[in-house]
């Protein structure tokens, strides 16, 4: 069907096996999420609400908590750096690598490093940089981009991956998932040993103790961090929680929301570089707090989006994401959270992504599953209004203009005349109505018979 | 699994204003009529403000909040007073109690918007949680697939509707896969994203028809417009009903209302 919206065209043209992989993966994870939360907690909503309040509180006092976190990280022996932009964060990381004579980086999954395009930056600087999360590793060898926050290769099937492994010399074609995983494991093990620096993100940083919390299922973040002399953590400034004890609620919600697990396989609490009494571990810990327009988001009317803990539940449940896949969103963060966050992080390029908030039926399923209870539909609506006010054309494409309708709907006389006149619709096939909205509707749907004013007449004339 | 966002302490007197909704005004006269018939059966006195048009949601969702506010201001003018405003649509009700206050956050007439929000009810929420009617008399011998529309999220309506439907003699509600999923309508979304919207609707129709119901039932004619539009394009002709029509027909079938 004809469409003026890029995301809609992407969904129309997507290969069937990709769409099915995304749909099936999302549906399965959503259902697991629901059942594990329902069976483990009497009132999971109360938990979501509480977690949302803690995060909102943190955001409202972010300046204080960042200072506390810095002081406590330093007390633990970590070096703390601040980067206003993604470029600055990349430069700091390259400088740290030069300072410690590092050539080879092994890297765990980090969404903020996707934002800064860290890997390609480091490669251009002559460093080796290997993604160790299996999904991200496959994305890297394919020169692809993640299409999901938690499951970066939800758009690929095992046959695609087997072909990639064959091409990269990781063995003959074999699409058995266990074989694929084993081969990646052997390859990556050597990379861990050869590396001299490990980079991770952080799921949380406790301001109270300076503890960095990392969760993974593969143990790769631990290996990156613990087996190297230098550990770098790249962290969005919104990743803070006030106290260690707050982690109880977030760790209970994060894995359940993201993958339907009670807890991920590995949960690490990192207190800084190794102490002299400890036999092994990194000698140097560097933490880079990245702003990259987050403080602008904090000052906007959509600041609640910074509560996000990157679980991906809103992607999995979203009926639009299930039809489009993540790449349709043309940005690092896809799905409902991405439709809010990506246009905001784009700064002055907001107009280019102003169609993202339109890619939603506003069904509210995202809000209902969000572990920090972000009112995503409200934020999407605010951004639609912003796009309209700022005249961002991409967002308005295909949406019928509302001015005339608003005039009609605020003048009862005209409205009732319209109800009477509308009956002509019953004599014209919808195919013939020369309006783009009518055309878009009729291509796949019929309109019922027009009955304008009949109820009013009945109500007046009865008895 | 939802957090309530319906206003607290809404009035629930038996004298109400009825917001027909523009879809019932234009396409679904019998739904509005059924709404009147069941409310009057319950002894409710109904005022139908003649100047009413639309709740303002199309422009609100379409991103033109200026246009939406213009319509909402008209709604406030039309629905004066302090009676409960009863609305046979989860989505128009949510527009009045949730959407409008959002669109008026920075406006000086926010108090008037909040006052209207504070007396607005989705129809079945009003019947069950306002009037305290916990079960429904009558008979409706049919298998139905109940589509709980998205705008019922965060309200007591879905629970209330199931409670009433389940209490009707002879009714069977079929189980649904992906019951929480949207029908794909989304107002202007249905025409600005026709491919995604149609895929969502087609999938929903598939799930709704899986267990061969006699009727598809919903509390939102927006969803019904979309689902019906897709069904009518196919070879299937499963009829659709608003909850109010089921409640009304149940009474009629038991001889409690004139046929």
| Residue of B106, B191, B203 to mutate for A, most A C-beta atoms under 10 A | B191
- Written as six digits, the tokens of A141 are 């060898």
Dihedral angle at the C-alpha atoms of A172, A178, A180, A185, nearest 10 degrees? -120
For residue B192, the chain A residues in CB contact (below 8 A) are 3-5, 8, 358, 397-399, 440
β pairing state of A104-107 and B15-18: unpaired
- Torsion angles phi and psi, residue B93, rounded to 5: -60, -45
For A4-44, list the strands marked E by DSSP.
Answer: none
Asked if the C-beta of A77 comes within 8 angstroms of chain B's C-beta atoms, the answer is no
Interface contact flag, B60 A363, Cβ < 8 Å: no
Q: Across chain A, how many H-helices and E-strands are there?
A: 23, 10
Residue B2 lies in a domain: no
Query: Is the pLDDT reported for residue A302 higher than 60?
Result: yes
Least Cα separation, residue A313 to chain B (angstroms): 14
For residue A409, the chain B residues in CB contact (below 8 A) are 22, 53-54, 56, 70-71, 74
- Written as six digits, the tokens of A34 are 């629901």
Interface contact flag, B150 A412, Cβ < 8 Å: no
Dihedral sign of CA atoms A165, A169, A174, A180 in order = negative
Across the interface, of B28, B189, B201, the residue whose CB is closest to A360 is B189
Q: What pLDDT shows up at residue A64?
A: 98
- Torsion angles phi and psi, residue A33, rounded to 5: -55, -50
| Residue of A425, A438, A444 to mutate for B, most B C-beta atoms under 10 A | A444
In chain A, residues 311-340 whose CB comes closer than 8 Å to chain B: 317, 319-320, 323-324
Query: Is the pLDDT reported for residue A296 higher than 70?
Result: yes
- Provide the β-strand partners of residue B210: none
pLDDT in tens, B199-209: 999 999 999 99
Interface contact flag, B60 A381, Cβ < 8 Å: yes
Asked if the C-beta of A40 comes within 8 angstroms of chain B's C-beta atoms, the answer is no
Q: What pLDDT shows up at residue B2?
A: 56
Query: Does B124 share its domain with B42?
Result: yes
Residue B5 lies in a domain: no
For residue B32, the chain A residues in CB contact (below 8 A) are 455, 459
Interface contact flag, B233 A422, Cβ < 8 Å: no
For chain B, list the strands marked E by DSSP.
Answer: 15-18, 45-47, 85-87, 120-122, 139-147, 169-173, 215-218, 240-242
Q: Kindly identify which residue of chain A lies nearest to residue B196, measuring between CA atoms.
A: A8
Between A and B, how many CB-CB pairs are < 8 A? Answer: 236
Q: Stretch A6-22: mean pLDDT, rounded?
A: 96
| Residue of A302, A379, A402 to mutate for B, most B C-beta atoms under 10 A | A402
Which residue ranges make up each domain of chain A?
A: 6-28+312-396, 44-292, 409-454
d(CA A16, CA A2): 19
Query: Does B118 share its domain with B183?
Result: no
Q: What pLDDT shows up at residue A427?
A: 83
Asked if the C-beta of A415 comes within 8 angstroms of chain B's C-beta atoms, the answer is yes
Residue B6 lies in a domain: no
For residue B205, the chain A residues in CB contact (below 8 A) are none
Q: By residue range, what is the domain housing residue B204?
A: 134-253
Query: What distances in angstroms separate CA A338 from CA A345, B146, B170, one per listed residue?
Result: 10, 31, 46
Interface contact flag, A409 B226, Cβ < 8 Å: no
Dihedral sign of CA atoms A119, A122, A128, A129 in order = negative
Q: How far is CA A37 from the centre of its chain?
A: 21
- Provide the β-strand partners of residue B87: B122
Percentage of residues of chain A with pLDDT beyond 90: 90
Place of tokens 């009865």: A462
pLDDT in tens, A359-415: 999 999 999 999 999 999 999 999 999 999 999 999 889 888 899 899 999 999 999
Interface contact flag, B195 A45, Cβ < 8 Å: no
For residue A27, the chain B residues in CB contact (below 8 A) are 178
Q: Could you write out the DSSP letters of every residue in B113-178?
A: HHHHHTTEEEHHHIIIIIS---S--SEEEEEEEEE--GGGTTSSHHHHHHHHHHHSEEEEEPP-TT
Instruction: Please calculate the CA angle A124-A345-A361 and round it to the nearest 5 degrees.
Output: 125
pLDDT in tens, A195-239: 999 999 999 999 999 999 999 999 999 999 988 999 999 999 999
Q: Stretch A130-159: mean pLDDT, rounded?
A: 95
Percentage of residues of chain A with pLDDT beyond 70: 100
Least Cα separation, residue A352 to chain B (angstroms): 16
Q: Could you give the strand order of the β-sheet that contains A204-206, starting from the edge strand earlier in sequence?
A: A240-241, A204-206, A212-216, A266-270
Across the interface, of B53, B180, B201, the residue whose CB is closest to A412 is B53
CB B98 within 8 A of CB B25: no
Residue B195 lies in a domain: yes
pLDDT in tens, B164-218: 999 999 999 999 999 999 999 999 999 999 999 999 999 999 999 999 999 999 9
Q: What pLDDT shows up at residue B258?
A: 80
Across the interface, of B33, B56, B197, the residue whose CB is closest to A455 is B33
Query: Does B111 share its domain with B173?
Result: no
pLDDT in tens, A404-454: 899 999 999 999 998 888 888 888 877 777 788 889 999 999 999 999 999
Query: Is the pLDDT reported for residue A147 higher than 80?
Result: yes
- Torsion angles phi and psi, residue A233, rounded to 5: -115, 125
Q: Kindly identify which residue of chain B lies nearest to residue A316, measuring between CA atoms.
A: B181
Query: Does B108 share its domain with B138?
Result: no
- Provide the β-strand partners of residue B241: B217
Across the interface, of B58, B71, B102, the residue whose CB is closest to A381 is B102
Query: Is the pLDDT reported for residue A84 higher than 90?
Result: yes
Query: Does B61 share its domain with B119?
Result: yes
Query: Is the pLDDT reported for residue B259 higher than 80?
Result: no
Residue B157 lies in a domain: yes
Asked if the C-beta of A391 comes within 8 angstroms of chain B's C-beta atoms, the answer is no
d(CA A235, CA A81): 10
- For residue B36, what pLDDT band results from cuts at 50, 70 and 90? very high
Which of B107, B129, B151 corresponds to the end of one domain? B129
Q: Stretch A95-124: mean pLDDT, rounded?
A: 97
- Provide the β-strand partners of residue B145: B216
Least Cα separation, residue A147 to chain B (angstroms): 18
In chain A, residues 342-371 whose CB comes closer than 8 Å to chain B: 357-365, 367-369
Number of neighbouring beta carbons within 10 Å of residue A434: 6
Q: Kindly identify which residue of chain B lies nearest to residue A41, measuring between CA atoms.
A: B1
d(CA A356, CA A145): 18
Interface contact flag, A455 B50, Cβ < 8 Å: no
Least Cα separation, residue B229 to chain A (angstroms): 4
For residue B225, the chain A residues in CB contact (below 8 A) are 447-448
CB A454 within 8 A of CB B27: no
d(CA A87, CA A79): 19
Domain count, chain B: 2
Query: Does B113 share its domain with B186?
Result: no
Domain CATH for B143:
3.40.50.11810
Q: Could you write out the DSSP letters of every residue in A413-460?
A: HHHHHHHHHGGGGGGS-GGG---HHHHHHHTT---PPP-TTHHHHHHH
CATH superfamily of A44-292: NagB/RpiA/CoA transferase-like (3.40.50.10420)
Query: Is the pLDDT reported for residue B1 higher than 50?
Result: no
Residue B1 lies in a domain: no
Q: Please count the CA atoms within 13 angstroms of the CA of B148 that sit on its side-chain side.
A: 24
Residue B7 lies in a domain: no
Query: Is the pLDDT reported for residue A329 higher than 70?
Result: yes
Complex ipTM over 0.95: yes
Asked if the C-beta of A11 comes within 8 angstroms of chain B's C-beta atoms, the answer is yes
Number of neighbouring beta carbons within 10 Å of residue A391: 10
Least Cα separation, residue A8 to chain B (angstroms): 5
Across the interface, of B3, B59, B78, the residue whose CB is closest to A405 is B59
For residue A429, the chain B residues in CB contact (below 8 A) are none
Across the interface, of B30, B67, B182, the residue whose CB is closest to A361 is B182
Across the interface, of B48, B78, B150, the residue whose CB is closest to A459 is B48
Residue B225 lies in a domain: yes
Which of B91, B111, B129 corresponds to the end of one domain? B129
Angle of helix B194-209 relative to helix A6-13, nearest 10 degrees, comes to 50
For residue A437, the chain B residues in CB contact (below 8 A) are 188, 191
- Written as six digits, the tokens of A344 are 């905001």
Interface contact flag, A397 B192, Cβ < 8 Å: yes
Q: What pLDDT shows up at residue A463?
A: 64
For residue A369, the chain B residues in CB contact (below 8 A) are 1
Q: How far apart are the first and last CA of chain A?
A: 49
Query: Is the pLDDT reported for residue A5 higher than 70?
Result: yes
| Residue of B195, B199, B224, B241 to mutate for A, most A C-beta atoms under 10 A | B195
Mean pLDDT of chain B: 96
Q: Which residue, A113, A155, A121, is CA-closest to A138?
A: A155
Q: CB pairs under 8 A, 24+ apart, for B232-237?
A: B232/A445, B232/A446, B232/A448, B233/A444, B233/A445, B233/A446, B234/B205, B236/B205, B236/B209
Q: Stretch A295-319: mean pLDDT, rounded?
A: 98
For residue A398, the chain B residues in CB contact (below 8 A) are 191-193
Which of B129, B154, B175 corresponds to the end of one domain? B129
- Torsion angles phi and psi, residue B138, rounded to 5: 105, 180
Which of the two residues, B1 and A462, has the higher pLDDT score?
Answer: A462
């Amino acid at each position: 069907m004809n469409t003026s919206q890029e995301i809609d065209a992407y969904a129309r043209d997507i290969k069937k096996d990709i769409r099915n992989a995304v749909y099936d993966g999302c549906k399965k994870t959503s259902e697991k999420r629901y059942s594990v939360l329902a069976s483990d907690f009497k009132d999971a909503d109360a938990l979501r609400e509480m977690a949302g309040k803690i995060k909102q509180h943190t955001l409202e006092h972010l300046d204080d908590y960042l200072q506390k976190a810095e002081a406590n990280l330093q007390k633990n022996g970590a070096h703390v750096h601040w980067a206003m932009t993604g470029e600055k964060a990349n430069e700091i990381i390259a400088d740290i690598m030069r300072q410690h004579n590092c050539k080879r980086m092994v890297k765990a999954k980090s969404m903020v490093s996707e934002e800064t395009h860290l890997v390609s930056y480091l490669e251009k600087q002559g460093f080796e940089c290997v993604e160790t999360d299996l999904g991200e590793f496959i994305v890297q060898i394919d020169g692809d981009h993640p299409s999901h926050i938690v499951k970066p290769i939800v758009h690929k099937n095992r046959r695609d991956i087997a072909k990639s492994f064959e091409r990269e010399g990781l063995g003959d074609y074999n699409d058995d998932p266990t074989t694929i995983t084993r081969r990646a494991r052997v390859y990556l093990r050597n990379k861990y040993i050869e590396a001299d620096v490990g980079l991770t993100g952080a799921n949380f940083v406790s301001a109270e103790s300076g503890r960095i919390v990392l969760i993974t299922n593969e143990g790769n973040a631990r290996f990156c961090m613990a087996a190297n002399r230098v550990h770098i953590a790249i962290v969005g400034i919104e990743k803070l929680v006030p106290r260690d004890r707050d982690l109880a609620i977030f760790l209970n919600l994060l894995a359940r929301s993201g993958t339907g697990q009670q807890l991920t396989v590995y949960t690490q609490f990192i207190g800084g570089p190794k102490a002299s009494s400890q036999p092994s571990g990194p000698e140097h810990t560097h933490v880079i707090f990245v702003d990259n327009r987050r403080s602008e988001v904090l000052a906007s009317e959509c600041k609640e989006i910074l509560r996000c803990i990157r679980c991906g539940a809103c992607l999995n449940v979203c009926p639009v994401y299930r039809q489009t896949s993540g790449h349709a969103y043309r940005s690092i963060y896809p799905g409902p959270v991405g439709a809010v966050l990506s246009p905001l992080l784009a700064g002055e390029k907001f107009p280019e992504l102003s169609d993202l908030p339109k890619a939603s039926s506003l069904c509210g399923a995202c809000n209902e599953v969000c572990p920090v209870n972000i009112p995503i539909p409200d934020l999407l609506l605010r951004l639609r209004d912003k796009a309209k006010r700022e005249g961002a054309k991409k967002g308005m494409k295909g949406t019928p203009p509302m001015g005339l309708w608003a005039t009609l709907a605020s003048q009862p006389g005209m409205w009732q005349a319209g109800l009477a006149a509308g009956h002509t619709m019953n004599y014209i096939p919808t195919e013939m109505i020369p309006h783009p909205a009518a055309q878009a509707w009729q291509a796949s749907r019929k309109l019922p018979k027009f009955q304008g004013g009949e109820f009013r007449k009945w109500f007046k004339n009865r008895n | 699994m939802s957090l309530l966002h319906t206003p607290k302490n809404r009035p629930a007197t038996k004298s109400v204003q009825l917001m027909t909704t523009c879809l019932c005004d234009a396409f679904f006269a019998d739904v509005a009529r059924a709404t009147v018939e069941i409310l009057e059966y319950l002894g409710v006195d109904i005022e139908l403000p003649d100047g009413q048009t639309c709740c303002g949601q199309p422009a609100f969702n379409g991103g033109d909040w200026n246009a939406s506010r213009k319509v909402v201001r008209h709604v406030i003018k039309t629905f004066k007073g302090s009676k409960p405003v009863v609305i046979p649509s989860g989505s128009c009700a949510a527009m009045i109690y949730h959407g409008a206050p959002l669109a008026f956050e920075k406006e000086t007439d926010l108090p008037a918007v909040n006052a209207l929000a504070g007396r607005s009810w989705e129809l079945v929420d009003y019947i069950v949680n306002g009037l305290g009617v916990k079960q429904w008399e009558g008979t409706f011998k049919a298998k139905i697939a109940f589509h709980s529309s998205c705008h019922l999220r965060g309200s007591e309506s879905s629970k209330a509707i199931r409670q009433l439907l389940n209490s009707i003699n002879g009714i069977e509600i079929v189980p649904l896969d992906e019951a929480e999923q949207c029908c794909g309508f989304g107002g202007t979304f249905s025409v600005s994203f026709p491919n995604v919207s149609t895929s969502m609707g087609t999938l929903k129709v598939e799930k709704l028809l899986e267990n061969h119901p006699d009727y598809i039932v919903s509390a939102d004619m927006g969803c019904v417009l979309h689902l019906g539009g897709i069904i009518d394009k196919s070879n299937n002709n499963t009829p659709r009903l608003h909850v109010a029509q089921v409640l009304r027909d149940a009474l009629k079938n038991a001889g409690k209302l004139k046929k």
